[in-house]
Amino acid sequence: MKRIGIYAKHNNDDAAALAGEVRTFLLDRGCEVFCEDVLAAALDAGQGYPPGAIPPLVDLIIVLGGDGTLISVARLIGELKVPILGVNLGRLGFLTEIARDETFDTLEQVLAGNFSVSTRMMLDTVVSREDRVVGRFRTLNDVVINKGALARIIDMEASVNGDYLTTFRGDGLIIATPTGTTAYNLAAGGPIIYPGLHCLAIAPICPHMLTNRPIIVSDEDVIRVQVRFQDEEVMLTADGQVGMPLEGGDVVEVRRSSCVALLVKSPKRDYFEILRTKLLWGER
């Protein structure tokens, strides 16, 4: 791998400093380095590139920051299948598996081709209004429908492959990939799903009926949700980072994307160790 892209968490001096060290490390080994424009300006590193222009140019992407930064980069890659090496600058992340002090040892191995990746499913979501498409989103974690702070309960009529599932009444609904089940889904009482499984989780947020529970469906299924409300503030959010306001009668259709995210695995820890560390399993 000789063409490497670097993204760093914005407005974070620690991320910028490490990015400078990583850039020097890579240049010393004959690599061509592509930094996003904000980072290039911070490092006085010459030409920078718009974030979306880097993936087609590189063989590997390095993300310095946290899970949120990595998720935003994963959405830019599309069909390209460029592997992402995530370095976490705080506590160990679910997705950014590499600790800061492991950065350069891990990079040596990756540049030599000694690494493996975890393939993570993504979702494509289409929002339709009166048979007209008004929004499209690609996500790594989840798609969430939720109401504003002062809004009343909303009705969400859900179907799977055209078969009526139920009408959820509550504060909202989460549709999560296995990767996303450790995010909002987990806080809403949904299950943790191992990333390699081929399924999706549908979890209601504060359902009006306590018998409405999370359900797991195949990743080959198409999930359709029609929202019903009047004069309320309801939002659709994708990965908790982008989204749009919904109107009563809007239809949200979610399916597995043809795109995937390839995450470089830590050579020092596995998925279950990360779960134990993040969720404090075994502590008293």
Catalytic annotation, residues = 67
Closest CA to 167 of 224, 238, 237: 224
Closest CA to 71 of 127, 12, 9: 9
**Residue 102 DSSP symbol:** G
Cα–Cα distance for residue pair 275/16, rounded to 1 Å: 28
End-to-end CA, the chain: 45
Closest CA to 180 of 63, 69, 71: 71
The one-letter amino acid at 122? M
Q: Are 129 and 118 in contact (CB under 8 A)?
A: no
Cα–Cα distance for residue pair 75/161, rounded to 1 Å: 25
* 31-44 CB burial, b ≥16 within 10 A, e <16: bebbbbebbbebbe
**Residue 94 DSSP symbol:** S
Place of tokens 């010459």: 46
Cα–Cα distance for residue pair 89/12, rounded to 1 Å: 10
Cβ neighbours for 198, distance < 8 A, ≥ 6 positions apart: 121, 218, 219, 220
